[in-house]
Structure 1
Amino acid sequence: MTPTSSLKRPSKRSSKKQRALEILVRLQRLYPDATCSLNYSTTVQLLVATILSAQCTDERVNKVTSVLFARFPDAASLANADLGEIEELVRTTGFYRNKAKNIQGACRMIMKDFGGQVPNRMDDLLKLPGVARKTANVVLAHAFGINAGVTVDTHVKRLTNRLGLTEHDDPIRIERDLMKLLPQPDWENWSIRLIYHGRAVCKARNPACDRCELADLCPSNGKG
């Protein structure tokens, strides 16, 4: 047996991981100052803004929360607010009745079960109305500095599929794939930078592959 014949070829998993790490390095270089786009002053405001961001742009959410938080700045005021008033204030974010109900329900639970403080454990956050892993990951990372998982929104879902880092459509399965490929300290900043790239370059309908810094790492390059 020759020395070279005993060498193993890189596995599909290892080559995918190497590619993911190179993509991470490039995203860090492209978007060094990328941060959460939602405006908030407190943890409960971050929670509420993230709930509102479902199927809505951060720009629109920030316009809505500037008025919402001036009227109801904390969990106690939102818990005791007139639900119809919350609905009217968040109307333009879409699905406003459900969002208003979840916001008030979450704030009431925070007041009743968590001493008025947003919990800092994934299991507890997931008990709150309107909170799934995406919202919980955002709150844990940006309010508590805890990288418990990878935030998967529509941009992250689209780009990770295009980049060949997952074969799944379900956000939870995508998150599991990414957690295996990326270092834990980079889980949240990966998502933020990928969102920036999705907005600026890799758009849903017309991805700009000709000016994409990730093109040579992307199996979807040129496929539109």
Structure 2
Amino acid sequence: MLSLDTATGQMPAEADLIQRAAARDKAAIRLIIQIHNQRLYRLVRAITLNDADAEDVLQEAYLRAFRNLDSFHGDSSLATWLSRIAINTALMRRRAERRQKRRAPDAAAVQADIIPFPSPPTPADPERVMAQRQILNFVERAADALPDPFRLVFMARVIEGLNQAETADMLGLPEATVKTRLHRARRMIRDRVEQQIGPVMLEAFPFAGARCARLTDAVIARLDLGE
């Protein structure tokens, strides 16, 4: 269990965690990242459609959030607040890339101030991992093929398991719109995958373990919290 309280082994209350993070407590910042990394990564990747870009964007989103944590007043949950920052950061990155392509289609992309991530180590059981990865890739490609508005709703509702009200709040949409988009997204996904692999209940778009630790360390380093 993730915990800051070694005496009780219990997860601290969100308000206490936010207060500690605002005071630049490394342990609190790490725990917040670990709690929310999976959801935020999936939401960002639903916009970038690229693993490396998603990690870069998520790093920037965390920096933006922790540097402005004093602006969080609890009007929504911390998860919703972070999700909005992550989505807006991803959308801003995509708009900037599109503007750059229109101005100079052949120009090299400007390098962002991002700490590079090393490649993950080779898994111990490559055949098993490859078979699992092939299925996951198929599911991910089917989700990637959804139009943007439907992809975000699908990620929030199906992959993350948020309810209709939570998704509407996070994306700033009416609940009726969320319901309609989810229905259409499911239909599009079903049309793509049903005949090949049938119902798939796997954890797609993983972002945990070493990848989570790398991003957490990078954010902590860039916040320059000192000892």
Instruction: Please report the TM-score for the alignment, with normalisation by the length of structure 2.
Output: 0.26
Q: Which has the larger radius of gyration?
A: 1
**Larger relative contact order, structure 1 or 2 (CA cutoff 8 Å, min sep 6):** 2
Instruction: Please report the TM-score for the alignment, with normalisation by the length of structure 1.
Output: 0.27
